[in-house]
Amino acid sequence: LGPIAPRCLGSFGGARPRAIWRTEEDIGEMGCCDTVGVVLFNLILIVCTLPPYIVAKVSVFFTDCRPFRPTSTRPKVVLVLTCLCWRLLFTLAFWIRIRADGLSDFRQHLGSSGRPVVVVANHLSFLDTLLLVAMMPVSRMSRMKMFVSEHLLKMPILSTIVQAMGHIAVPFKPGAGHNDFELDRELMAIRQLELEEHVRSGGYAGWFPEGRMNPGDSTEVGLFRAGGFALACHVDVEVWTIAFLGNGMCWPRTSAAGGRPSKIGVKFERLCESSWEFVSTAKGGPGLNDEKEACKHLANHAHERVQTGVTQLFTEGIPAYQGGRKAKAREVAINQPLLSSAA
């Protein structure tokens, strides 16, 4: 990624490729090359994750003696080190080809408006998190705080890193199953305020507005929950969108390990330099006085921008999957009206 992995970037040359479909049943069948890729990828992942884990472990140990202060450098060190180590991961994993449209602009202009930043993306796979961290500009990574799934706090090694980074867990109601992602609204409201205060103080925020990994057609972005965009109504922020495609081919959402040989597409775009201006009546929005409609306005336009990026990547040859059903190449409709309900 970036200067250390130029082979991953740029558009694929040659004639326009045909759309490529796979089903989750197809993805579940691993061949010899897939097995070798997964084994090597996870060995490299372990090696590249050990340095930030060791630093995070030390950080968590000292936190028991002296809790984090808002200006503490401990989370920042873990964030930056993890970013660099996971960049190395994708550089060494040469069998995973990554096309990243707009990456240089993202790294160069992120935060150029002088405002805090919000980054949102569609969610296909556990690989999304690794890529998002690796692709962040190092100079800005130390300011990032994300909403993460609570189950990450139960995973060995990764839970320590997430805790040391200071990320915020999304609370689900007790007993929620794999396909049930009902939030504990009271606790979520408290954690949203925590993230809002981080952004208000000049920090950056990131999350996956779908609320879960896409279980179906990976070319159709799931509904964006509007409630999370209240942050962009309370604080004037710069908003960026990231469209992922192909991540679920490399690391299927139902698999414990990933790293299969694959082609991945990523598209970065800035939705707006000012969220307040974007929802203003002067720009065709509902205005900040109607917060519910303003949240929907932001969620729907962010969804549309991500959906357009995913569709473009698909039509240009990035493989996609369709969960649980036989699939065939087809055009993806993106001009349907959207409706996001507040989380």
Task: Say if CB 170 and CB 150 are below 8 A apart.
Answer: yes
This prediction's pTM: 0.82
Residues 212-216 have a mean pLDDT of: 85
Higher pLDDT, 273 or 150: 273
Q: Is the pLDDT of residue 10 over 80?
A: no
Position 21 confidence tier, pLDDT thresholds 50, 70, 90:
low
What is the residue-wise DSSP string for 272-291? Answer: ES-HHHHHSGGGTS--TTSH
As given in the structure block, the two tokens for residue 255 are 């698999």
The whole-number pLDDT of residue 167 equals 83
Position 22 confidence tier, pLDDT thresholds 50, 70, 90:
low
Task: Say if CB 286 and CB 343 are below 8 A apart.
Answer: no
Distances (CA, A) of 105 to 111, 132, 203, 245, 269: 11, 15, 20, 19, 9
The whole-number pLDDT of residue 65 equals 60
Q: Which of 84, 195, 208 is nearest to 134 (CA)?
A: 84
Q: Is the pLDDT of residue 324 over 50?
A: no
Average model confidence (pLDDT) across the chain: 81
The whole-number pLDDT of residue 213 equals 87
Q: Is the pLDDT of residue 94 over 70?
A: yes
Task: Say if CB 297 and CB 287 are below 8 A apart.
Answer: no
Give the C-alpha separation, 15 to 68, whole Å.
53
Residue 48, burial from CB neighbour count under 10 angstroms (0-12, 13-18, 19+): buried
**For 148-157, how does the pLDDT look when each residue is reduced to its tens digit (9 = 90+)?**
776 666 777 7
Distance of CA 336 to the CA centre of its chain: 24
Position 27 confidence tier, pLDDT thresholds 50, 70, 90:
low
Q: Is the pLDDT of residue 208 over 70?
A: yes
Position 161 confidence tier, pLDDT thresholds 50, 70, 90:
confident
The whole-number pLDDT of residue 111 equals 93
The whole-number pLDDT of residue 31 equals 76
The whole-number pLDDT of residue 334 equals 34
Residue 113, burial from CB neighbour count under 10 angstroms (0-12, 13-18, 19+): middle
Indicate the DSSP class of residue 215: -
The whole-number pLDDT of residue 28 equals 53
Residues 74-84 have a mean pLDDT of: 89
Position 100 confidence tier, pLDDT thresholds 50, 70, 90:
very high
Beta bridge partner(s), residue 320: 21
**For 121-158, how does the pLDDT look when each residue is reduced to its tens digit (9 = 90+)?**
999 998 998 999 999 999 888 899 888 776 666 777 77
Residues 86-94 have a mean pLDDT of: 96
Indicate the DSSP class of residue 226: G
